[in-house]
Amino acid sequence: MSVAEGFEYLEKLRDFFYGLAELRDRLKERGFRWPKPYAAEAAATGTVKVKVGFPAMLRNGVIMDVTNVEQAQIAEEAGAVGVMVLDKLPYDVRKAGGVARMADLKVIEEVMSHVTIPVSAKVRIGHYYEAFLLEEVGVDLIDESEVLTPVDEQHHINKWLFTVPFVNGCRELCEALRRISEGASMIRSKGEAGTGNVSEAVKHFKALYRAINELAAAEAAGEEERLRDYARQCQVPLELVALTAKMGRLPVITFAAGGIATPADAALMMWLGADGVFVGSGIFKSQDPKERAEAIVLATSRWDDPEAVVEAQRMVSERASMAGIDVKALRPEELLQTRGV
């Protein structure tokens, strides 16, 4: 199936589901009541199964940073599995300086009312009340993000207190395990947001899987002492380290983020072991956001098909890409990835 045929099929599928939604609304207007498949008291929210299971449904997908309804609609039409609402894109956060905070609740709610895909939003590291507010308005996922200005340099949010799932960033395995032990339902690489330079995300994913492979080898050899030492080093439960070693991967969905700007970048991160990708400034700071959004979705979902990735890369022009930033040119205090370890 060609890309054009694929999009035609998806459009027909979309129209079919919209038709079902319209039928549901007409039946409701006529007083029809849907039978409940189970007793209301049997429904459960905020369980580990629900919080970890939701991100698993986003596998092989793209979550795009947006700042308004128009961008969110472009993301949805391109095939994104979700959007992340910010006040400013990471590139603009970096340029603006000052204090970066959670997006306006009105903007978040407006996006939620105009798209049908999951809507996420960022909070500052350690800012419990921003998280309480986002849970109250009903976002699907909260990102406790180093892109925003941390309010607590020593502690992250205790995510077990919430029913909504959280995603956190990491640069290496110990950091990832600490966030999971705090209740994170999803992990992403930190990379260096707002640069359009995927090199840091590559470095973080390689470090993550190098450590996981070493633990897996120790587990296979029955070297429990090494697992205990690693758990002590990371200050996390031994059971979490042992589970990671046994699975040969993190026990939660792991997305790549930080500097992804092209379809090839997205495919590379999937090849390195990512379950999906977050794209921040790479789409809406480019000169061809619509085409680039569609191309990155295609390259992510079909990363193991070279012909599809070639086709995706042809959909964009390097001349239209965002102006990148050399990470090596940044001063230590300008690095976002070092926030919150």
Is the confidence at residue 335, as pLDDT, over 70? no
Residue 340 in any domain: the answer is no
At 151, list the tokens: 């309010």
**Do 17 and 86 lie in a common domain?**
no
Share of the chain above pLDDT 90, in %: 66
- CATH of residue 211's domain is 3.20.20.70
pLDDT score, position 22: 80
Q: Between 29 and 198, name the one with better pLDDT.
A: 198
**Do 306 and 276 lie in a common domain?**
yes
**Do 64 and 10 lie in a common domain?**
no
Instruction: Say how many C-beta atoms besides its own lie within 10 A of residue 34's C-beta.
Output: 8
C-alpha to C-alpha distance for 327 and 169, rounded to whole angstroms: 18
C-alpha to C-alpha distance for 308 and 300, rounded to whole angstroms: 10
122 in catalytic set: yes
Number of domains within the chain? 2
**Do 149 and 218 lie in a common domain?**
yes
**Residue 83 belongs to what domain range?**
46-330
- Only one residue has tokens 């090839």, namely 264
Catalytic pick from 88, 122, 190, 285? 122
**Do 117 and 173 lie in a common domain?**
yes
Residue 171 in any domain: the answer is yes
Is the confidence at residue 36, as pLDDT, over 70? no
**Do 12 and 148 lie in a common domain?**
no
DSSP string, 1-15: --HHHHHHHHHHHHH
C-alpha to C-alpha distance for 337 and 341, rounded to whole angstroms: 9
**Do 24 and 90 lie in a common domain?**
no
For the whole model, what pTM was predicted? 0.84
**Do 85 and 27 lie in a common domain?**
no
pLDDT band at 321 (very low <50, low <70, confident <90, very high): confident
Residue 336 in any domain: the answer is no
- Only one residue has tokens 């049908």, namely 116
Diameter over CA atoms, the chain: 66
pLDDT score, position 35: 61
**Do 55 and 185 lie in a common domain?**
yes
Residue 90's nearest CA partner among 222, 239, 191 is 191
DSSP string, 214-267: HHHHHHHTT-HHHHHHHHHHHTS-HHHHHHHHHHTS-SSEEEB-SS--SHHHHH
C-alpha to C-alpha distance for 258 and 261, rounded to whole angstroms: 9
Residue 335 in any domain: the answer is no
C-alpha to C-alpha distance for 123 and 269, rounded to whole angstroms: 25
**Do 63 and 193 lie in a common domain?**
yes
Interval 278-289 mean pLDDT: 89
**Do 50 and 102 lie in a common domain?**
yes
Residue 90 in any domain: the answer is yes
Buried b (16+ CB within 10 A) or exposed e, 8-26: eeeeeeeeeeeeeeeeeee
Tell me if 96 sits within 8 A of 67, measured CB to CB: no
pLDDT digits (tens, 9 = 90+) for 152-173: 988 999 999 999 999 999 999 9
Q: Between 158 and 98, name the one with better pLDDT.
A: 158
Beta-bridge partners for 254:
187
Residue 57 in any domain: the answer is yes
pLDDT digits (tens, 9 = 90+) for 322-334: 777 766 767 766 6
**Do 281 and 295 lie in a common domain?**
yes
